[in-house]
Amino acid sequence: MQIQTPDWVKHAVFYQIFPDRFARSKQPRSHFSKGMPLEPWDALPTLQGYKGGDLWGTIEQLDYLQNLGINAIYFTPIFQSASNHRYHTHDYYQIDPLLGGNVAFMELLEAAHERDIKVVLDGVFNHSSRGFFFFHDVLENGPHSPWVDWFKIEGWPLSAYDGSKPANYGSWDGNRALPEFNHDNPDVREYIMQIAEYWVKLGIDGWRLDVPFEVKTPGFWQEFRDRVKGINPEAYIVGEVWRDSRQWLDGTQFDGVMNYLFTAPTIAFTAGDRVVMEYVQHSSYEPYPALDAAGYAAKIQYLLQLYPWEIQLTQLNLLASHDTARLLSIAGEDHASVELATLLLLTFPGAPSIYYGDEVGLPGAVDPDSRRSFPLEQAWNRDILEYHRHLIALRHTYTALRTGSYNVLFAEGLVYVFVRRLGAEEIIVAINADTESAQISVEATDLLSQPTQVLYGSAEASWGSSDSRNLSLKLPARSGCIIGASR
């Protein structure tokens, strides 16, 4: 079977937005935002408090995102909910009124598309919430409810709030606020399929699927793909699967997953033993122990052999998300670690994803601290912002950095060198993660050209002679570079 994935994703740079924390509209368009007891924007976030970010605010920031080089947005959930993260869905057909409702979303979708920015929504289809109408009916009417078979009822009475009593229904991770759907019920299955179709028909560009591995019903995700792709063959379907994802990436289900198998070794190599263990040791990805260049090369080469190339090009690659601490904090505020990891992210096959605020140096420990409000402009780290802009621009400029092959040229000590190649275009990327400068000779017998133009970084590169196959590189400590032909 020939695997087909959306072509636009191969050329996308994503920006992940947690809507309550990204942007509060300067000129409120909704009466819901007037006089509400919101948390101060610059105060540290709490588990249950709201900051009041909305979709009108995101619209006002689209020019900023476009200038950064972003051409795709992934929103964490935006449907009506009783939580600031909105994974507790109340109504899958209504955008949360605090975000501006359906009117704000449709205006956002149009404004984004006018700028050629794609929009991907978070689909929370494993579970709903206590406030979901169908489940609420079960709470009110017990076994007499017509919706009983929509959920995994285990006994009576249900206890949705009193933790001293058995819940008597299946819920995600034992959290009784999140009752799980019974996906074996054909009506539930059809309901979810129609939700997916509805928003794709309205113009969204894809779905990020929350904990899809929890849905055990055979054929469910195959049908989901068929139904979504039947409306828009270029719609992106990306699953939240943290580990080996081969069973979902066979071409019949997802176009990619959130690629934590890239995240973990990249942090372990660039941050090394600077990693603050308390921020990562309870996570389901493991950016530790420290890796040297050979160890990193082994992890990356294994990853690149794991899935078909067509899938590799539509993986969603990331360094942090709303489910992790931010990289700056994981690395103990070591800025070089962040820059080196960002360089590797933006030169790797697949679609890179920037977690809102990472590009301006926003720190954050584990949830809820990783979900801080986007900082005011005077608090931005301009150096971090500029190298993000520079690296994103290079990715857009050189096709080889998006869809070219990936071959490791050198991996010794803490120096890692690889080449991205597409036709005659060859781009060399080198990382020195050591605290000492490095001078190396790289045997590059397979290269067709002798690129020497330093497009990023402050390395020195030379080939010695016109027919030499050995590249000499001098790399400052804790630095990286991109070498290619100037445009």
- Count H helices and E strands in the chain, helices first: 14, 18
And the tokens for 50? 């709201």
- Secondary structure letter of residue 425 according to DSSP: E
| SS3 assignment, position 118 | strand
Q: Of the residues 54, 205, 210, 292, which is catalytic?
A: 210
φ and ψ at residue 348, rounded to 5 degrees: -100, 150
**Burial class, 26, CB count within 10 angstroms (exposed 0-12 / middle 13-18 / buried 19+):** exposed
And the tokens for 49? 């408090």
- What is the distance between the alpha carbons of residues 65 and 117, in angstroms, rounded to a whole number? 9
| SS3 assignment, position 274 | helix
Q: Is 180 a catalytic residue?
A: no
Instruction: Name the helix (H) or strand (E) containing 443.
Output: strand 438-443
Q: Of the residues 54, 240, 292, 359, which is catalytic?
A: 240
Residue with tokens 């113009």: 203
- What is the distance between the alpha carbons of residues 159 and 284, in angstroms, rounded to a whole number? 30
| SS3 assignment, position 15 | strand
Residues 61, 64, 65, 67, Cα dihedral to 10°: 160
And the tokens for 353? 């994803």
| Residue 238 near residue 207 (C-beta atoms within 8 A) | yes
Q: What is the CA radius of gyration of the chain?
A: 23
Cα distances (Å, whole numbers) of residue 146 to 132, 137, 143, 149, 445: 14, 8, 8, 8, 70
Per this entry, what is the length of the chain? 487
Cα distances (Å, whole numbers) of residue 221 to 6, 46, 225, 248, 455: 17, 35, 6, 9, 42
And the tokens for 143? 């076994």
Residue with tokens 């368009």: 29
Determine if residue 86 is left, alpha or beta; phi over 0 gives left, psi from -120 to 50 gives alpha, anything else beta. Answer: left
Q: Is 210 a catalytic residue?
A: yes
And the tokens for 446? 């397979």
Alpha helices (H) along 185-234: 186-202, 220-231
| Residue 349 near residue 313 (C-beta atoms within 8 A) | yes
Residues recognised as catalytic:
210, 240
